[in-house]
Every structure is written in structure tokens, then in C-alpha cells.
């Protein structure tokens, strides 16, 4: 991977300054301040050149959090709280049951509330006491979360363009792009359908799609062009999707078989999700979540890898641990963290800042919304006959 500062491109279009202000915290450009003093044109040129180089990496890995869905159907934790408050008739009773204070209510932390209820349920069951009321409260909240995450991705969402740009940048013999998402929604599935892409998500290709991790080891080729070591025989529009916290379309039957439905399931007790609560770390060690997290960890250990982290809040300890260890141990890992604002509040981000200040030039924190970042990704197209790349600037 190229680690040096990029030269100015010849194409004048590449120097156009975008309307949105780009903030960048990167050792490579010696931009150590996230204030308005940054030269937006300089940052834009540097970022495009860095991304153009990184898209040529052998492995492309994406980590997507809630921020990639907010504004396109997804909701923040506070917005989910308001929905639950308006739709769950007994919500006031739930708050009174857990003895929530006014200050706690004002925080609108649904994960904190569900954690209280889960702990209460566990304590009652340990004492062999009736936990039906608590279970009812939990199911009411989780049902609303499930419904709110079962939205249809709007036409103006940037997910279609994001997938197009990533898939165009790959030669047919390159390893498939791997997208790991913490979201329950079906945004990437919908975008894949719209652009005619095929996603491999760990489910079988049978009539009843059941989870089978070995599916990730399969690929798709053109049968009529199939030749050993022939680059063009591989179908180009294919990527891997790993839904680390489950999906609104996953369901579990009485035999614990996990299936993928065509539409979102309606019953929270049948949905295969890691709901936001204090037990989510423990649940990540259950199947199929453990398999998906393990594959995320393995993906970040490979040489010549670029990782795009988008819309992630850095509030999941098990994910943070993998990110920290990967940046520390993999000298051939380039990381782009995309956030609406550059703030160093989270312990891991503070640690990353210190590494950048210390001269680590493979770590870049970008202050942009997901949709604005997608616009900055250059379109890199490979000519599969001559193995010649064309850079399209719009």
C-alpha cells in the first residue's frame, strides 16, 4: 500500500472543492486540527488520491453501523425511545417498574432500559419467581424495535452508489468485497437487488434458505466462459454480507434452525437479533453471531487490506477489541473511519488519535456523513481484457 503523500492529479476536475466541508485527521497529510482552518481543496485532493490507491488493495472490508441508515429509514437510539414511548401502551408502567428517574428518562437510552429489564428477568428466574410481567415488557419494546428496523430503503439512499463504486473497483479475480454490518435492516440487500448484484450472506441457495457458514466459501462464475485461471469467468457483481447482530429477515424455528425470510419477521421472539442490552456481548458468542464476528476478525488479519468504518458509534466492546488489535498487529491494514463529526470522546477513538499523533499514517478519521463520503469515492474501473484501469472523475 502506498503510504506517501499523493501528488496533485492532472485532471482539473479532481481539484474541484465539494460543497460539503471535509474534516480530516491524518498523519499522512500532517493535518492535526479538526477546525475550520483546514484547506478543503487540499483535503479533497488528498482523500481522493488515498481512496483511489486503497481501492486497489487486495482485500476491501467494510464495517457499517447505524449511521449509514439514519436519515434513510433508520433511527437513533433517542428516536427509537420516542417511538416506543408512543406505541407501547404500558411504557409508563415499564419506567415505573424499573424505578427510572426523570434524569434517566431524559437520556432516552433504550439499551440501558432493556438492560435493566434483562437483569430483572434473570434475577427472577434465578430465584424461580414469576418473570412473565418482565418478559412481556421486554417483548413489547423489542417488537417495536423490530418494526422500526423493517423499513424499505428509499430511492435516494446512497447505498446503491456505494456498492456500484466498490464493485467496479475490483478486478474479477480479486477477493470479494466483505461488508460487515451491525444494523438489523435490509438496506444492503435492497441496494444489491437494485443494481443487480449478488450477495453471499451465509445462507444456502436452496428453496428454504438456512444459515450455513460454508456458503461464504462459494463463488459465482459464468458457466459458458468458465476456464481455469480465467479472470473474466467470475461474475463481477458479487460481494459478501455479514450481519453481525442479526437481521429483521432472520427467523428461528423450534429446532433452532435459522432461516432467511423474503420479508421481515413480525414476532420479536422468532427474530434472530442481538437486541441492544447488557447481554449483547455474551450473545455474540452464540451461533451464528460468533461465526460472523470470527470472520470479521480474520478478514482484518490479511495483508494488503483496506477497512472502511462508517456510521459506527464505537460502543460495542467486542468490535472495539477487534479493531484495536487489528490496527496494532496488522502493519498492512489501512483504515478510514467516517463520522459526521471528528470528536475524540470514546476511549478507542482517543487511543487512535494518539497513534495518529505518534506518526501512524495508515489511520485516517474523516468528518463526513455517509452519503457525502460516498460522493468522494472515485470510480475505478478495470478493463478485464487488458488489465488496464480507468479512473472516471465526475
Domains of the chain listed by start with CATH number: 12-72+156-244+284-392 (3.40.50.1220), 77-148 (no CATH)
pLDDT at position 285 is: 86
Whose cell is 417495536? That residue is 144
How many beta carbons lie within 10 A of that of residue 147, not counting itself?
A: 15
Indicate the pairing of strand 23-26 with strand 271-273: unpaired
Residue 277's pLDDT band (boundaries 50, 70, 90)?
confident
Residue 390, pLDDT above cutoff 50: no
Asked whether the beta carbons of 116 and 98 are under 8 A apart, the reply is yes
CA 306/CA 299 separation, integer angstroms: 10
What is the tens place of the pLDDT at every residue in 67-94? 999 999 999 989 999 999 999 999 999 9
What is the tens place of the pLDDT at every residue in 297-342? 999 999 999 999 999 999 899 999 999 999 999 999 999 999 998 8
Residue 383, pLDDT above cutoff 80: no
> Which ranges of 102-158 does DSSP label H, i.e. alpha helix?
102-107, 110-126, 132-148
* Residue 68: Cβ-neighbour burial (10 angstroms; 0-12, 13-18, 19+): buried
CA 78/CA 120 separation, integer angstroms: 23
How many beta carbons lie within 10 A of that of residue 66, not counting itself?
A: 21
What is the tens place of the pLDDT at every residue in 194-211? 999 999 999 988 778 898
Peptide bond into 288 cis (omega under 30): yes
Extract the C-alpha cell encoding 186: 435490509
Mean pLDDT of the chain: 86
Angle at which helix 289-299 crosses helix 317-329, to 10 degrees, equals 20
Question: Above pLDDT 90, what percent of the chain?
Answer: 62
Q: 220 vs 195, 198, 233, 307, CA distance in Å?
A: 17, 9, 9, 24
Asked whether the beta carbons of 210 and 258 are under 8 A apart, the reply is yes
Residue 181: strand, helix, or coil:
strand
Residue 224, pLDDT above cutoff 80: no
Q: Find the range with the poorest average confidence among 49-58, 127-136, 299-308, 376-385.
A: 376-385
Whose cell is 428516536? That residue is 79
**Going by C-beta distance under 8 Å and a sequence separation of 6 or more, which residues neighbour residue 86?**
none
CA 93/CA 117 separation, integer angstroms: 12
Question: For the chain, give me the number of helices (H) and strands (E)?
Answer: 13, 13
Q: 118 vs 98, 121, 282, 283, 289, CA distance in Å?
A: 11, 5, 13, 13, 20
CA 211/CA 258 separation, integer angstroms: 6
Dihedral sign computed on CA atoms, order 323, 73, 286, 302? negative
What is the tens place of the pLDDT at every residue in 2-39? 333 333 333 434 444 456 678 889 887 755 544 455 67
CA 211/CA 36 separation, integer angstroms: 48
CA 388/CA 394 separation, integer angstroms: 19
Residue 219, pLDDT above cutoff 70: yes
Amino acid at each position: 500500500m502506498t503510504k506517501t503523500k499523493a501528488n496533485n492529479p492532472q485532471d482539473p476536475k479532481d481539484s474541484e472543492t465539494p460543497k460539503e466541508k471535509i474534516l480530516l485527521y491524518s498523519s499522512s497529510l500532517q493535518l492535526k486540527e479538526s477546525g475550520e482552518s483546514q484547506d478543503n481543496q487540499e483535503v479533497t485532493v488528498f482523500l481522493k488520491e488515498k481512496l483511489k490507491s486503497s481501492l486497489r488493495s487486495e482485500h476491501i472490508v467494510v464495517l457499517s453501523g447505524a449511521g449509514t441508515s439514519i436519515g434513510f429509514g433508520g433511527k437513533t437510539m433517542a428516536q427509537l425511545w420516542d417511538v416506543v414511548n408512543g406505541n407501547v401502551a404500558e411504557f409508563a408502567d415499564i419506567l415505573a417498574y424499573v424505578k427510572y428517574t426523570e434524569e434517566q428518562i431524559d437520556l432516552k437510552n433504550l439499551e440501558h432500559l432493556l438492560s435493566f429489564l434483562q437483569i430483572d428477568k434473570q434475577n427472577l428466574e434465578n430465584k424461580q419467581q414469576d418473570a412473565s410481567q418482565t418478559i412481556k415488557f421486554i417483548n413489547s419494546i423489542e417488537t417495536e424495535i423490530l418494526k422500526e428496523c423493517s423499513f424499505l430503503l428509499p430511492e435516494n439512499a446512497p447505498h446503491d452508489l456505494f456498492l456500484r463504486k466498490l464493485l467496479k473497483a475490483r478486478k474479477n479475480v480479486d477477493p470479494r468485497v466483505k461488508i460487515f454490518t451491525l444494523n438489523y435492516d435490509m438496506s444492503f440487500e435492497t441496494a444489491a437487488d437494485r443494481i443487480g448484484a449478488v450477495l453471499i450472506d451465509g445462507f444456502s441457495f436452496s428453496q428454504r434458505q438456512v444459515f450455513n457458514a460454508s456458503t461464504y466459501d462459494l463463488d459465482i462464475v459464468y458457466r459458458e466462459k468458465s476456464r481455469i485461471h480465467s479472470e473474466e469467468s467470475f461474475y463481477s457483481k458479487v460481494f459478501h454480507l455479514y450481519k453481525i447482530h442479526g437481521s429483521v429477515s432472520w427467523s428461528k424455528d423450534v429446532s433452532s434452525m435459522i432461516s432467511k425470510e423474503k420479508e421481515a419477521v413480525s414476532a420479536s421472539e422468532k427474530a434472530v437479533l442481538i437486541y441492544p442490552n447488557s447481554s449483547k456481548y455474551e450473545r455474540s458468542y452464540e451461533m451464528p453471531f460468533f461465526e460472523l464476528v470470527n470472520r470479521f476478525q480474520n478478514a482484518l488479519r490479511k495483508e494488503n487490506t483496506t477497512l472502511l468504518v462508517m456510521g459506527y458509534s464505537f460502543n460495542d466492546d467486542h468490535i472495539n477489541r477487534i479493531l484495536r488489535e487489528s490496527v496494532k498487529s496488522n502493519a498492512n491494514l489501512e483504515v478510514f473511519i467516517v463520522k459526521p463529526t471528528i470528536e475524540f470522546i470514546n476511549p478507542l477513538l482517543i487511543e487512535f488519535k494518539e497513534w495518529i499523533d505518534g506518526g501512524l499514517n495508515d489511520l485516517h478519521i474523516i468528518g463526513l456523513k455517509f452519503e457525502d463520503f460516498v460522493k468522494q469515492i472515485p470510480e475505478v474501473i478495470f478493463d478485464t481484457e487488458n488489465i488496464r484501469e480507468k479512473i472516471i472523475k465526475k
